[in-house]
Structure 1
């Protein structure tokens, strides 16, 4: 498969002042700066190309994105996913606050479990999607990305007995993903991982370091996200990488993660959707509880549902070998009907795939479309998503 050169982006090298642990303390809570993660000593010995995510430099790839993809699919890939920001919600009103700004029923959560959910604006639009971790009724973590989650939680918690605090510069996140991830992690974990369910949580020691582990990830494979204090991060990551390497796993970067997340139709906030969209509009209507207590955006969501949406996110499978770019236009019967938001070449399916917004009447599976590549075009077919492992059996194994 062939990727087109996107002329809107160019590779550049530049000198810059970069923050390193321990990070400069500041009372200002807005995100700022350009920083290395706590895992940088190990990563920088191999990686040369980085991307910026939520103020942190993250490896784009180490060797080859496709090789790293296959490590995630066949053994295990170790990733630095720092920048997935932990916001602690703590206090007697923590459960009530979260239940009021989420469509899922937080009161039904069990301690030691996680939800995939969204935070909502009053108008029903999405603040951000992420993982909610419940330690107990008065202590939760919201784990998102570069969205405005901390501000949303703070604004809605002002009149409540609750504290909101970002741990973006205090806790960094490693992710071990792949069919052998449990087997490998168990070698250096002092707790039994076998009973930890899909979307479960446990606190333990890994490589002798206290951590929080959730059975979650961005790959739809069996996997674990591991949250570690910055002070222990460098030694922890080096020791974990040594174990992964001996087991035949690989260090993996953002590009391999991106391939797998598109195959799995895991949506990316700020790319596939944003604050303009409701959970129903992007295919997450199953999140909206019909039995929970009234919540802030409930009436707005009900009103939105009463008016049919004009577009939906759809999956496209391409006939040729050329991978489209974000922003390429989707044409049906000579009329522009949508736009590409994510695209990749799938090593497993051996064809290009894309996610895009498409007019409802053109989004029926089996519909043939054309995607304009500047002065060229390619044909594709609308297909169901996820593209691979539609029943999510791999992650639940």
Structure 2
């Protein structure tokens, strides 16, 4: 077993009363005041998340942007320097090695933020085909990642003198107290928010100021527990759940992140074939109408027939019911509004099929 990794703010989190758990090989804060409280604070005011476990990698050299565009799924030609883009790194069978954010710094530099556990695999996939003069470097500990999410997020950053007036998925490089900070208007909660990437060793300076500012704005520190309930309410895919080496972007309803007209990207032939034939299963939403807590890896039933399996499940603090995402067989003929059941340890929990998100997005 590999050694558990530690972020740059662990001592801060311990002093603030966080509970911890392993995630993606890293010891990360799961909650402070409690997941429901942190979730509601993010929806109603502002939440502060430390997600420094996320990976970082840089592709540099002449034509770096063109190289990335020929490997990752989305069309990097749709954005320009100063913008970020959600994209996927696929395998040749069309499965997903990882989903990630690509920051378009310049034609000769692309900064990537993959998931923690998949950073090495993404870097290796790109390094294996990088042309002469283009380098792909794992820079996992180059920057921390702090997410400020919620309707008062802009107020918090403005009060710290950081930029907020930018389009969704745009970023700017700034400084706070002499610390370089990359600020991107993005997030994983469905709320208007920002992700701040200060230098790793200087992250405590930025974090301490954010803790004070978020508290003054009526917000809370939030852990990975609230991050998961927030993203599940939005129907956002999580690698290892709705996306994996055996779950394609089309099955996960992430086909919008594929540049179908591009000449090349990892997994292109397999994905084009799947698109033409139609995926055999699709991620759908399930909203519990009966009592019960939904979790991942539970059988989804139409009568006595299994038609799918849950990929994520939680209690929705916003809706106050159980919700889940599930891969449902497309040939089962299941439409929105259909009544299915989920087998929770031998008890059948009744659910209604819905199209996510479960709550309205406010990112823009």
- Structure-1-length-normalised TM-score: 0.86
- Map of 1:249 onto structure 2: 219
Q: State the Cα RMSD in Å.
A: 1.7
Mapped pair 1:169 → 2:141: yes
In 2, Cα distance between equivalents of 1:193 and 1:395: 13
Do the aligned partners of 1:314 and 1:363 also contact (CA within 8 Å) in 2? no
Match of residue 270 from structure 1: 240
CA shift, 1:54, in A, is 3.4
Q: Matches of residues 163-312 of structure 1 in structure 2 within 5 Å?
A: 163-190=135-162, 192-194=163-165, 196-312=166-282
Quick check: 2:250–2:279 contact (8 Å CA) kept in 1? no
Choose the corresponding residue for 2:334, options 363, 374, 379: 363
Q: Residues 69-112 of structure 1: CA distance to partner in whole angstroms, max 9, x if unpaired? A: 01101111111011111111111131122111122221332110
Distance change (3 Å), C-alpha of 1:168 and 1:54: farther
Give the superposition deviation at 1:160: 3.4
Correspondence for 1:381: 352
- 1:205 positional shift: 1.4
Asked if the contact 2:174/2:182 (under 8 Å) is kept, the reply is yes
Determine the structure 1 residue equivalent to 2:123.
150
- Name 2:59's counterpart in structure 1: 89
**Matched position secondary structure for 2:101:** strand
Q: Per-residue deviation at 1:56?
A: 2.3
Q: In 2 relative to 1, CA 45–296 (structure 1 residues): closer, same or farther, beyond 3 Å? A: closer
Instruction: Write out per-residue CA displacement over residues 89-144 of structure 1, whole angstroms, 9 at most, x where no aligned residue.
Output: 11113112211112222133211001111112233221211111001101111111
In the alignment, which of 48, 52, 64 is matched to residue 22 of structure 2?
52
- For residues 189 and 30 of structure 2, the distance between their equivalents in structure 1, rounded to whole angstroms, comes to 16
2:87–2:258 CA contact under 8 A, matched in 1: no
Alpha-carbon offset, residue 233 of structure 1: 1.4
Query: How far apart are 1:187 and its partner, in Å?
Result: 0.9
Query: Where in structure 2 are there 5+ consecutive unaligned residues?
Result: none
State the shift of 1:362 in Å.
4.2
Contact 1:189 1:207 in 2 (8 A): no
Contact 2:56 2:142 in 1 (8 A): no
Q: Distance in 1 between matches of 2:128 and 2:363?
A: 35
Q: Which stretch of structure 1 is more off in the superposition, 292-301 or 166-175?
A: 292-301
CA drift at 1:150: 1.4
The Cα shift of 1:270 comes to: 0.8
State whether residues 66 and 107 of structure 2, in contact with CA within 8 Å, keep that contact through their aligned partners in structure 1: no
Assess if the C-alpha contact under 8 Å between 1:331 and 1:372 holds in 2. Answer: yes
CA separation of 1:64/1:80 partners in 2, compared to 1, >3 Å: closer, same or farther?
A: same
User: How many Å separate the matches in 2 of 1:242 and 1:65?
Assistant: 20
Query: Could you tell me the TM-score, scaled by structure 2's length?
Result: 0.94
Cα distance in 2 for residues equivalent to 1:290 and 1:125 = 16
Helix, strand or coil at the partner of 1:67: helix
Match of residue 115 from structure 1: 85
Q: CA deviation at 1:170?
A: 2.3
The answer to whether the 8 A contact 1:207-1:240 is kept is: no
- Return 244-253 or 101-110, whichever deviates more: 101-110
Shift of residue 296, structure 1, vs aligned partner: 4.6
Other structure's SS at 1:323 match: coil
Which contiguous aligned blocks of 4+ residues in structure 1 show a shift greater than 6 angstroms?
none
Change (3 A) 1:176 1:320: same
* Equivalent residues of 1:127, 1:152 under 8 A apart: no
Tell me by how many angstroms 1:307 deviates. Answer: 2.6
Aligned to 1:323: 293
Distance in 2, Cα, partners of 1:55 & 1:290: 34
Residue 349 (structure 1) aligned to one of 319, 323, 338: 319
Closer, same or farther in 2 for the Cα pair 1:355/1:215, shift >3 Å? same
Aligned partner of residue 187 in structure 2, secondary structure = coil
Of the structure 1 ranges 127-136 and 35-44, higher mean CA displacement relative to structure 2 is found in: 35-44
1:72 paired residue among 30, 34, 42: 42
Is the deviation greater in 281-290 or in 220-229? 281-290
**8 Å contact kept, 1:368–1:379:** yes
Deviations 1:307-346 (A, max 9, x none): 3322111100111232122211111021111111111111
CA distance in 1, matches of 2:302, 2:137: 48
Please, which runs of 5 or more residues in structure 1 have no aligned partner? 1-30
